[in-house]
Amino acid sequence: MIEDKKYGFEEVDKLSRAERKFKVGHILYIIFFTLSYFYLMTLMFDSMNGSIFYLLINLYFALLLLILWGFSKSIESKAKERVYAKLMNEKYELEQKYINILNQNPNTLEDYIRAFFLTYGSEEPEYSKHSYNFKRLLYLNKKISSKQLYDVSEPDKIVAQVKEKIALEHKFWAILNENPVTLEDYVKLFSSTYGESYRDNIADFKRLVYLHGITIKSENEIELLLTSIEEKKQLNLLENKFKAILNENPVTLEDYVKLFSSTYEESYSDNLADFKRLLHLRGITIPSGDEIEFLLEAIKLNLLENKFKPLLNDESVTLKDYVGLFLSTYKNEYPVNLLLFKKMLLIQKDISWIRVEEEIKSYFFSTISNKSSFKSIYGVEPIYDFKLIHEFCKKYGFSYSEDDLENLSKLLITKGIKIHDKSILKELVSKANMERHYSLFTECMKTEIPLDETGYIQKAIGLFGNNFNKRFDLPYLHRFFIERNLTSLDYKNFEEYVMTRIFELSLLSDENKLSVHEVDAMDGYEFEVFVGQLYQKMGYSVEQTPLSNDQGADLIISKYGEKTAVQVKNYTSNVGNGAIQEVVAAKNYYGCSSCIVVANSYFTKSAIELADANGVKLVDRDELNYLINNKGIEINPKSDSALCVKGIELSSPGRYEEATILHGNEFILKGCELTNLGRYEEAIQAFDKAIEIDSKSEIPWSSKGWALSSLGRYEEAIQAYDKAIEIDSKYGSAWGGKSLALSSLGREEEANEAFDRAKELGYTES
């Protein structure tokens, strides 16, 4: 409905209708007019004809309608005046009530709403309380129409919109303080204010722009403007970063790539993504996604060939020389350049990638095992320090998981040591473990004076029996002989030669060979140790269970990843069902795949039937005698050699919680086991006990030095090594350990002297 033109309020017309009533005076006037009119007509009746009569009647009704219309207008006007007066009175009262709002001189509807929020707050309960009166004030001040007044949702929508606008203006006050006018002004200020986090605020920003009445041509116009601004920022940053390249005024893609390659050399891969972005923002056309990589590879290959040019032109240069120079040149960045290096050798020297990989392995292996002679092999000093790998082997031995290996790889990377192939790292760990065990082997083979070939073979027979473990013992013996110039045979021929010599020596000597009758004289524990050594000679690794609470097994033997529980019975009478039941229970308890009962007597018929039913292997007196004569010659469970071999076997898994040898030399072995477990304080106590038993032996003094070094007590360690050297000045391990301790204290000159002495005595780092 159109607002009243005079008063400006639809309510004036609407509310005045109820007061438009004819009063008594109006009715009496009409009656008087009617009577008077008709009285005059009667006076003229005789002189008028019919047509005049009808004319006068019509005139009457016309005059009557005119009078009624006049009365109506008069009544309406007065009613509107009264209603308007009421509205103005209401307006006055409301203005007095909301004087604090009006004092803020609001002009627009939004101004009134903002003034209301400033006065009463923007909380919903407060607005609801004043909602009706405030809307009336807005209406009487002509800020909303009567339709908006009576439509419940319409004003509330406007209030909510203003409330939202106020909140957004508060959020984006930093932008609005700059008085932006155009959409571009808003977007520039938004980008500079919020930077990279603008995406989190863009929805609110769009709403602010809309509420401020800024025209947006398309739905994604703001995003396009922001992208353009961000690209300009990126371009400025990248142009500053690559200033050295741009100063050369490159034009073509090839110009850019050449300058990039020569500027960044080895670190180009770290900057390649930014370089590509620079080219894109500068409008440099890239024909294909890989074009830059192809160009870079060609340039890098050319640089690599220039670096190796002297070697490439020398026909006498070997693959070892190439690998040595490559790894010493690129050091820990070699994995990035390895592919180019392989391509260069394939193109220039027809050397296959497989050969290159194998030579890199050899390089690493030489670093692990032949550090002292490394330079003579590769012509350069080794660039890698694999101390962490040796420490890893010391802790885990061969019993590490894939997760352990992964953690080692990550640790090496943090130390700047990158190995391009995880399988190589695994082989390096295996090599380091072998080196560690070889050190134990050489300790066991140590003699007062150097022996000849026969003497060392006899020494090895004393340690390992006739049947060498071909995985460890025989390869170690081969290396031991080569290092002492006792053989020039390759491993295959050496194996055949040594096994023949062992057979010859066993025929010529029966010394220390045991018979089953001598086994009968052993006590229970000695028999356990004896059987353990017997299985060692058959290629098993052996673990003795606790002396008490062994859960039915005296030994756990392992071979090819399979574990077997062994129950040992030193009986004068036949062995019954009890031993079978015990070992079956032990098999499950220790997680073994099979079980054995070994006895120096025989088994009852019932025991044999029970063993067959449960898959238990029985070794009786006859089979034991056969094994002694064919597998276990020269076994002595109380010999120092046996103890030394046991030490090697126990150190391989890298985990045993208790000492298992109770002979006079027990404390050396116990100390070694505790050292392998990282329990260095207890190990030192064990070595001290060993020194009390034999203070003239250099081994416990040297071993104690190693444990002290592991605790960082280098001065005490040096004193222990000096004591070992005082006892035996030719003890290479003591000199080597002393060298490491001196180096840890920063006494490099003394450390080098000690290390040179250790090398003279045949000591090698492992």
Of residues 604, 598, 593, 648, the one with CA closest to residue 619: 598
422-431 pLDDT, tens digit each? 888 888 888 8
Least confident piece of the model among 86-100, 311-325, 554-568: 311-325
Do 596 and 725 belong to one domain?
no
589: domain CATH number is 3.40.1350.10
On whether the pTM is more than 0.95, the answer is: no
CA 47 to chain centroid, in Å, comes to 125
Least confident piece of the model among 7-16, 583-592, 649-658, 686-695: 649-658
- Is residue 179 domain-resident? no
- Is residue 162 domain-resident? no
Do 704 and 607 belong to one domain?
no
Task: Write down the pLDDT at residue 56.
Answer: 80
Do 690 and 623 belong to one domain?
no
How would DSSP label each residue in 188-206? HHHHHHHGGGGGGTHHHHH
Q: Which residue range forms the structural domain that includes residue 29?
A: 1-150
User: Of all residues in the chain, what percent carry a pLDDT higher than 70?
Assistant: 80
Final residue in a domain of this structure, among 508, 530, 551: 508
For residue 661, pLDDT over 50 is answered with no
Q: State which of 14-18, 509-513, 717-721 shows the largest mean pLDDT.
A: 717-721
Of residues 582, 605, 609, 604, the one with CA closest to residue 596: 582
Q: What confidence tier does 457 reach under pLDDT thresholds 50, 70, 90? A: confident
Do 659 and 746 belong to one domain?
yes
For residue 85, pLDDT over 60 is answered with yes
Average pLDDT of the segment spanning 458-485: 75
- Is residue 214 domain-resident? no
CA 159 to each of CA 67, 137, 148: distance values in angstroms, whole numbers, following the listed order: 50, 14, 12
Contact 597, 579 (CB under 8 A): yes
- Is residue 346 domain-resident? no
Averaged pLDDT score across all residues of the chain: 77
- Is residue 209 domain-resident? no
Average pLDDT of the segment spanning 235-243: 84
Of residues 737, 732, 688, the one with CA closest to residue 710: 737
Q: How many CA atoms lie within 13 A of 533 on its CB side?
A: 31
Final residue in a domain of this structure, among 475, 508, 541: 508
738-748 pLDDT, tens digit each? 988 898 888 88
688: domain CATH number is 1.25.40.10
- Rounded distance, CA 304 to CA 341, Å? 7
Do 525 and 504 belong to one domain?
no
- Is residue 158 domain-resident? no
Do 687 and 575 belong to one domain?
no
Contact 165, 157 (CB under 8 A): no
Task: Write down the pLDDT at residue 584.
Answer: 94
For residue 128, pLDDT over 90 is answered with no
Task: Write down the pLDDT at residue 422.
Answer: 82
Do 127 and 5 belong to one domain?
yes
Do 615 and 501 belong to one domain?
no
Do 694 and 584 belong to one domain?
no
Task: Write down the pLDDT at residue 472.
Answer: 61
Final residue in a domain of this structure, among 150, 172, 203: 150
Task: Write down the pLDDT at residue 380.
Answer: 65
- Count CB neighbours of 92 within 10 A: 11
The structural domain count of the chain equals 4
Do 602 and 686 belong to one domain?
no
* More confident of the two residues 295 and 85: 85
Do 679 and 701 belong to one domain?
yes
- Is residue 551 domain-resident? yes
Do 601 and 720 belong to one domain?
no
- Is residue 617 domain-resident? yes
Handedness of CA 456, 462, 463, 466 (dihedral sign): positive
